[in-house]
Structure formats: structure tokens, C-alpha cells
């Protein structure tokens, strides 16, 4: 009996001191499994939530939205705050709410609700010269609406409704609003070319067709063989608008719309259409990307130069966003679906080479925008770990 009692007591001691056995006589297989588990969890934390990124460059969380939303639209206001509108909720229902996020405080306040109750596709926002925001929206019922948001009063000042099947304000290949002056905005339908453009008068709050030399039969015959996609690129340099046509040319239009020129890249034979472009003011060049090459267009001399050819490593995914870094290089985001985020690359202007970055966007389907000071923000979006999907209400700032 005494021997049995000692055995039972010894077993109890062994149960209580099991951890000493593990530490003193570790199992190599268990150590490997634990190490892999820790590494996997750490990699997920970096990949899907870079709130505490310690690297020199990367996205860091600076605040939260009032409402989680993916595919929102956003624009930086003149005072540095960010106006966010629309997007979709966790049930893929469109949102007609707006909010204003302040990067200085990390907090957001609600703005006015938008006129349409639902949207078929994301909104288009454009910051006007007077600091107000032009909001263009449409839905599957062919309802279109143009609204003017006043950030000082936090109200919608103007609202104009119209129905037209030729207009569709998309999120990635969208109709473009081109300000002609402080009072007139040309609405250019990306899918249906310049000859269907509308002129919106802010003071009169009405829309009319814009006719003239720009849209005569000779112009349409010469320039509209391929679609003009202003969202690929449009900018105003001096007294001219420059529009990139994916069919390998630039259309140069005087701001009085009385002079139109057609600039073709004659040495372009890659077979890949233009996808994005960006104007570098300090160098006075437009940098144009397609999936296989990069070109420089010298604005002053109006000459082209092929800078780099990607070769067999061309990019199959579209470049969703291009931004100029503070060091003068170009950041471009390669849209990746159904991946969990967007890959980021940097084009070195001086070395003329592309460098993959060691970070990426925190989410997918976020609004990625840049302020006049060069700050780049990622707003909202969707987090995905291949098993779970949930919306983000976070705002991130890219450390440069």
C-alpha cells in the first residue's frame, strides 16, 4: 500500500512539473512547429495590419473613420482635411454618407448625405479652384447627379439631376470632370468620348452641350478612332490640356477649345496600350506607363523618348495609382485582385530603373490619394487573409 501511495504521489508531482520536463528536455519537432507558427502569425500581422510598421517606409495608422467602407472616394481639401464619400458596406450595399477626416487629430466627423440613395459604382470627386468639391454620381437606373460640397459650411450647396445613358462615373476608369475655369466644368464620359461631353455651369446650376471646333466631324474622324480615356491621364500645363489616349498618343487642347493637336509616339511598337501617366513639374515631362515600357514626353520640346522596357517581366495587372515621391521618384501601385493588397514599386528617375518596395498597401479596394504637400493616404478598404474578409475603418499615412 505504501509503495502504491508513493507511486501515486510521484505521478502527481510529474503532472505538476511537466513544464520542467519540456524545458529541460525539449522536443526538436515541437520547437520547429512553434517557430513556424510564430513566424506565420508575425507575417500575417505585417501583411494585413501594418499599424506599427517599424521600417523606414510603409503605411502607419493615423486614425479611424466613423464608418468602415471599401471602394470609397476621397479628396484632400485645401485645409489638409480629407473628404470621404460613398463606398460600400460589409453587405456590398452602397453608402450615401460622407465624412471629413482630420489627419492632425486622427478623428472624423460626418458630412452631409448625398442625393442619390444608392450608387451602382464609386463616386467621382474633384477639388475645384475655390476649395469646394464637385461630386459626380450615377446608378444603374441611369440617374446622374452633380453636387457641390462646401467644406467651410459642411453642406451641399448645389445639386443638379439629369438622366443620360452615356454617362457613367466609374471608380477606376471613370468619367472625368475637367475644370475649364472657376465656374465651368467639362464632364467627359470616358466610355463615350469627348464628342458626348457636357458643360456644367456652377453658378447657373445647369448643363449644356459643348460644341465648336473641338467636336466637328474632321476632329472626330481623326481623333476618335480609339477611345479617349481621360482617367488614364489629364492635366493642364500652361494654357493647354493634355489627354492621354490609350491608342498611343496625346491630345493637346487649348483652354479656349479653339486649337487641337494630335501627338503620336511613332516609335511605340510594344503592342501594349497606355495605362497611366504623371506630370513631373520640376522636370517639365510627362512620364507615361504601359504594361511593357515607360516613356518620357518633353512638354517644352514635344519629343518622346522610351526610357525603359520591362521585357518579359511586363506587368499584367493595371497600375491603379501613380504618385510623385518627395525625392522626385514615382511610386506606382499594381492593382492586385483577388489578392489581399496592392504591390508597390518605385521608379527611380535618375537611375531609370524600377525597384520593388518592401511594403504594400494595408488593405485592398481602399481610396489612395495624395495631398499637395506630397502626403499619401490609404483610406478604408477591405482586409483579407484568404479565410476572412472584413472592412477597414482605418486611415493610413505612407512614411517616406
- Tell me the average pLDDT across 287-293: 82
Give yes or no for residue 225 having a pLDDT over 90. no
Residues 50-99 have pLDDT tens digits of 444 445 789 999 999 999 998 999 999 999 999 999 999 988 888 999 99
Top-confidence residue, 266 or 257:
257
Q: What is the DSSP letter of 88?
A: B
Return the H-helix or E-strand segment holding 58: strand 58-64
pLDDT of residue 45: 41
Give the global pTM. 0.78
What ranges do the domains of the chain cover? 1-48
101-122 CB burial, b ≥16 within 10 A, e <16: bbbeeeebeebbebbbebbbbb
Which residues, 6 or more positions from 38, have their beta carbon under 8 angstroms from its beta carbon? none
Q: What per-residue confidence (pLDDT) applies to 172?
A: 40
pLDDT score recorded for residue 276: 81
DSSP secondary structure of 237-285: ETTEEEEEETTTEEEEEETTSS-EEEEE-TT--SS--EEEEEEETTTTE
**Between these two residues, 225 and 267, which has the higher pLDDT value?**
267
pLDDT bucket at 292, cuts 50 / 70 / 90:
confident
Other CB atoms within 10 Å distance of the CB of residue 240 = 16
pLDDT in tens, 236-259: 788 888 877 666 678 787 877 777
Range of lowest pLDDT (1-5, 163-167, 255-259, 294-298)? 1-5
Q: For residues 121 and 241, which has the higher predicted lDDT (pLDDT)?
A: 241
Q: Tell me the average pLDDT across 2-15.
A: 49
pLDDT > 70? residue 399: yes
**What is the per-residue pLDDT for 148?**
93
At 332 the pLDDT is 87
Grid look-up 448643363 returns 207
Amino acid at each position: 500500500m505504501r509503495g502504491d501511495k508513493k507511486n501515486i504521489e510521484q505521478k502527481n508531482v510529474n503532472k505538476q512539473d511537466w513544464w520542467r520536463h519540456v524545458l529541460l528536455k525539449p522536443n526538436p519537432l515541437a520547437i520547429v512547429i512553434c517557430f513556424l507558427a510564430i513566424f506565420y502569425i508575425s507575417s500575417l500581422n505585417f501583411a494585413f495590419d501594418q499599424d506599427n510598421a517599424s521600417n523606414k517606409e510603409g503605411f502607419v495608422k493615423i486614425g479611424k473613420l466613423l464608418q468602415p467602407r471599401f471602394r470609397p472616394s476621397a479628396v484632400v481639401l485645401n485645409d489638409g482635411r480629407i473628404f470621404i464619400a460613398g463606398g460600400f458596406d460589409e453587405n456590398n450595399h452602397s453608402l450615401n454618407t460622407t465624412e471629413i477626416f482630420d489627419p492632425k487629430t486622427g478623428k472624423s466627423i460626418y458630412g452631409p448625405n448625398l442625393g442619390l440613395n444608392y450608387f451602382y459604382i464609386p463616386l467621382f470627386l474633384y477639388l475645384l479652384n475655390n476649395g469646394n468639391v464637385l461630386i459626380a454620381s450615377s446608378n444603374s437606373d441611369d440617374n446622374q447627379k452633380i453636387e457641390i460640397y462646401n467644406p467651410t459650411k459642411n453642406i451641399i450647396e448645389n445639386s443638379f439631376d439629369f438622366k443620360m445613358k452615356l454617362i457613367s462615373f466609374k471608380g477606376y476608369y471613370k468619367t472625368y470632370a475637367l475644370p475649364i475655369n472657376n465656374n465651368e466644368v467639362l464632364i467627359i464620359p470616358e466610355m463615350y468620348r469627348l464628342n458626348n461631353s457636357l458643360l456644367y455651369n456652377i453658378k447657373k446650376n445647369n448643363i449644356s452641350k459643348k460644341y465648336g471646333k473641338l467636336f466637328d466631324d474632321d476632329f472626330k474622324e481623326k481623333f476618335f478612332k480609339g477611345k479617349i480615356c481621360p482617367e488614364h491621364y489629364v492635366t493642364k500645363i500652361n494654357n493647354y490640356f493634355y489627354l492621354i489616349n490609350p491608342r498611343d498618343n496625346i491630345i493637346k487642347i487649348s483652354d479656349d477649345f479653339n486649337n487641337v493637336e494630335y501627338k503620336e509616339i511613332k516609335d511605340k511598337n510594344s503592342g501594349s496600350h497606355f495605362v497611366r501617366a504623371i506630370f513631373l513639374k520640376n522636370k517639365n515631362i510627362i512620364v507615361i506607363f504601359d504594361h511593357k515600357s515607360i516613356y518620357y514626353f518633353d512638354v517644352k520640346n514635344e519629343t518622346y523618348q522610351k526610357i525603359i522596357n520591362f521585357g518579359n517581366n511586363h506587368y499584367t495587372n493595371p497600375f491603379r495609382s501613380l504618385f510623385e515621391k518627395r525625392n522626385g521618384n514615382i511610386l506606382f501601385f499594381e492593382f492586385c485582385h483577388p489578392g489581399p493588397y496592392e504591390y508597390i514599386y518605385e521608379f527611380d528617375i535618375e537611375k531609370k530603373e524600377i525597384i520593388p518596395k518592401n511594403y504594400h498597401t494595408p488593405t485592398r479596394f481602399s481610396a489612395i490619394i495624395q495631398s499637395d504637400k506630397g502626403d499619401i493616404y490609404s483610406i478604408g478598404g477591405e482586409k483579407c487573409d484568404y479565410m476572412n474578409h472584413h472592412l477597414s475603418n482605418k486611415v493610413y499615412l505612407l512614411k517616406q
